[in-house]
Amino acid sequence: MKENFSKYNDQEAFRIARLIAGFIKGTLTEHEHNELDNWVAENDENMQLFERLTDEKNIEEAMKWMESIDTEMALQEKKEREKIVFNQPKKAIRFWRYAVAASIIITAGILIYVYRDSNNEKKNNVAVTNSADLLPGSDKATLSLGNGKLIVLSDAVIDTTINEQIKIQSQKGEIVYSNEEVEKEMEYHTLSTPRKGHYRLTLPDRTKVWLNAESSILYPTAFVGKERKVIVTGEAFFEVAKNKDKPFIVEVGAVRVEALGTQFNINAYTNEPFISATLIEGAILVSNSKNENILKPGQQAKITANDFSVVDTDAMDVIAWKNDLFKFTNAPIDVIMRQVERWYDADVVYEYRPSDHFNADIPRDVPVSKLLRFLELTNSVRFKIEGKKIIVLR
């Protein structure tokens, strides 16, 4: 088995091969495992190559091929020692050197010895799909106007005039309010995303909002008075326009987040165990009826009906969704599958709940089978897809 690593130099190709070998043997460090995960998730070609190289049948074939090369090279060395002249005295050696020089790495040569020494049997897990694959979400939302009119939004261009002072433009998955002055006919609008949908919004004060799937934001068409207040459900990321005289307020049930000019994430899905506010930049004051706390960048407030705590967190993990990425760091399976349900409009059924926690970086634009296959590579879990239902298996 010869695998094409021609796009890499020798050092890079051998590094990838060594990581794959370590994966089969189960000797990778956490850093090496993350390095391999990132390489596999980089593109479809890498994932397909990884699957081929870790397939038992291919490894068995490689062992036979490599043994034939070893035998030919051993015979050649014997002939060299005996000074016997042949028509092609260094064919095998030349072939080996050419393969390395051309970066056509005979990865099996590394994998074979690891495979021979490993007592671990590798399962050939596959996300079984009995019907059409589930495709990822896209730019989809509904805008509800003050008069009850609904406007369906997508990535199509929309130019709407609500009245003389309210103008809305929508293009490339974003809706923008162009009015900056206080108008006489201020009203409230609601932007909502369904499952498999996300959207962006620029408010009248130039604050930018990213809405994740199954989320909504209620906001005025102009911020009058001493504060700028919006109401959120689901998950949203805010890049607040600075205005020291008019704080920006986000209300999520009984939780209130106050900012002047900053970046933060709110996660308030009803099926999550707590409401979270995570600060990326600047400062925010998070409060409920009993507690309040000023967060620093990299801190997260976790709030339930009976508890209010502040913890340090990896903010980039929290907002990975905003950058079109699934980023799981020591994540239990139920945390992952809740995201899968919202982004692929799937219903998850558990026949087995693995106790393992998962680490992975996976683009959000892949079909669900690819995401599940990536998780299956850990050998900790399997999946079966039946229509919109994803069954978690041992």
**What are the pLDDT digits (tens) for 44-61?**
777 777 776 666 665 555
pLDDT digit string (tens) for 163-190? 555 566 666 788 888 655 555 567 899 9
Q: If you ran DSSP here, which 8-state letter would residue 277 be given?
A: E
DSSP-derived secondary structure for 92-105: HHHHHHHHHHTT--
> Does residue 83 or residue 332 have the better pLDDT?
332
Task: Give me 212's structure tokens.
Answer: 């994740």
The answer to whether 352 touches 381, Cβ cutoff 8 Å, is yes
Q: In the structure encoding, which two tokens stand for residue 94, read together?
A: 């030349």
What tens digit of pLDDT does each residue of 296-341 get? 999 999 999 889 999 999 998 999 999 999 999 899 999 999 999 9
Average pLDDT, the chain: 78
Answer whether residue 277 shows pLDDT above 80: yes
Question: How do residues 187-209 score in pLDDT, each as one tens digit?
Answer: 899 999 999 999 999 998 999 99
Q: Mean pLDDT throughout 85-109? A: 37
Per-residue confidence at 116, pLDDT binned at 50, 70, 90? very low
Q: Is the pLDDT of residue 230 over 90?
A: yes
The C-alpha atoms of residue 27 and residue 119 are separated, in whole angstroms, by 12
pLDDT of 125 = 45
User: Which residue, among 233, 230, 197, 219, has the nearest Cα to 144 in the 3D structure?
Assistant: 219
Q: What integer pLDDT is reported at residue 89 of this predicted model?
A: 37
Buried b / exposed e along 143-158 (16+ C-beta atoms within 10 A): bbbbeeeebebeeeee
What count of other Cβ atoms lies within 10 Å of the Cβ of residue 123? 10
- The pLDDT assigned to 131 comes to 52
Domains of the chain (ranges; CATH) run: 10-124 (no CATH), 125-394 (2.60.120.1440)
pTM: 0.69
What are the angstrom distances between the C-alpha of 370 and each of 129, 344, 365, 377? 11, 12, 10, 11
**128-129, strands of its sheet edge to edge:** 128-129, 382-386, 389-393, 347-350
Least confident interval from 10-24, 98-112, 176-190, 353-367:
98-112
pLDDT classification of 77: cutoffs 50, 70, 90: low
Residue 86, pLDDT score: 36
DSSP 101-127: HTT---THHHHHHHHHH--PPPP----
Mean per-residue pLDDT, 12-16:
70
Which three-class secondary structure state does DSSP give residue 27? Answer: coil
3-state secondary structure of 296: coil
pLDDT at 159: 58
Asked whether the CA dihedral 8, 11, 12, 14 is positive or negative, the reply is positive
Tokens of 225: 């008075």
How far is it, in rounded angstroms, from Cα 386 to Cα 287? Answer: 43
Binning pLDDT at 50, 70 and 90, where does residue 30 land? confident
What residues are paired with 231 via a beta bridge? Answer: 218, 251
Query: Can you tell me the distance from the alpha carbon of 360 to that of 40, in angstroms, rounded to the nearest whole number?
Result: 10
pLDDT of residue 84: 35
